[in-house]
Amino acid sequence: MYQILEQAIISDDILLKEELTTQCLEYCNQNQVSGEADFKPKIFKEPSYASKCHIVDPRELPARKDFDTTEGLATLVHAITHIEYSAIDLALDAVYRFPQMPMEYKVDWLVVAEDEIRHYKMLKELLDALGYRYGDFPVHCGLFDAAEHTAGSVLDRMAIVPRYYEASGLDVNPQIIKKLDNKRKNPLVKKLIDALNIIYEEEIDHVYKGDKWFKYLCQKEGLEESVYFEILERYKLLSKHRPHINVDARKEAGFTCSEIKKLGAKECS
């Protein structure tokens, strides 16, 4: 299965990724996964989208402010499409990178990969309708870098990817919908809002899965769950400005009020 996973991660063909992900999920559901003991995961030198996209430093990305023009809307859709594409490889890598984890963990992240593939295809269709393709705008590789930096620790991976980056998405998503709301008469904007609502609901479950496995690992390793903040500090993420904390979504995804307040929310009950 791990060779299939590797092929899925390095491929830039979404239909092949989908087919291979389905195959891996079938193996796991039938408990046919083997070769864990002698398997050595590779460190990937570049993300699979490097063949499609021009990668730049995040500071070089153009500001996305004008959603009234087709191009302005397309830059927003492209940015979200890129996040969802990156999330496919991250979910697959969570299985590939840590073969020692239980079967339930493998199934969880393969199901997440399937969700992310569906999100990507939904957004790609919208991008096509706007007259653009994935790769038409520059992108950054922040999520790929996060995967690389956490490759040596599944605890760090669960803390940083689902419990930090994906949880931050829960904060941002409703804010984007709010900004778009007065433009929903445009059928493509309405389609984007609908897509964002689907993504939002399913991302709560993804963060919840990260939370579940983070807590499982803390218990297994005899660590306090407050180690989360030590990990964020180590990755220089604790002091990042969070203008809005989505208290309800984070609580639904497993965060405690104590954690939510420490992340910057004024109230949580």
> CATH number for the domain including 239?
1.20.1260
Read off the DSSP letter of residue 41.
Answer: P
- Residue range 89-109: mean pLDDT, rounded: 95
What pLDDT, on a 0 to 100 scale, did the predictor assign at position 22? 95
Helix, strand or coil for residue 139? strand
Q: Is 234 within a domain?
A: yes
- Residue range 126-154: mean pLDDT, rounded: 94
Q: Is 40 within a domain?
A: no
Domain count, the chain: 1
Q: Is 6 within a domain?
A: yes
- Confidence band for 32, pLDDT divided at 50, 70 and 90: low
Q: Is 267 within a domain?
A: no
Distances (CA, A) of 58 to 55, 103, 119, 141: 9, 36, 23, 8
- Residue range 195-222: mean pLDDT, rounded: 97
What pLDDT, on a 0 to 100 scale, did the predictor assign at position 37? 59
Q: Is 236 within a domain?
A: yes
pTM of the model as a whole? 0.93
- Secondary structure string (H, E, C) spanning 60-84: HCCCCCCCCCHHHHHHHHHHHHHHH
Which of 124, 3, 101 is CA-nearest to residue 52?
A: 124
Q: Is 166 within a domain?
A: yes
For residue 139, what are the β-bridge partners? 55
- CB count, 10 Å around CB of 25? 19
- Confidence band for 34, pLDDT divided at 50, 70 and 90: low
Q: Could you list the residue range(s) of the whole structural domain that residue 111 is in? A: 2-33+45-262
What pLDDT, on a 0 to 100 scale, did the predictor assign at position 211? 97
Q: Is 269 within a domain?
A: no
What pLDDT, on a 0 to 100 scale, did the predictor assign at position 29? 84
What value does the mean pLDDT of the chain take?
92
Burial of 39 by CB count in 10 Å (0-12 exposed, 13-18 middle, 19+ buried)? middle
What pLDDT, on a 0 to 100 scale, did the predictor assign at position 36? 62
| pLDDT beyond 60 at 159 | yes
Burial of 40 by CB count in 10 Å (0-12 exposed, 13-18 middle, 19+ buried)? exposed
Q: Is 268 within a domain?
A: no
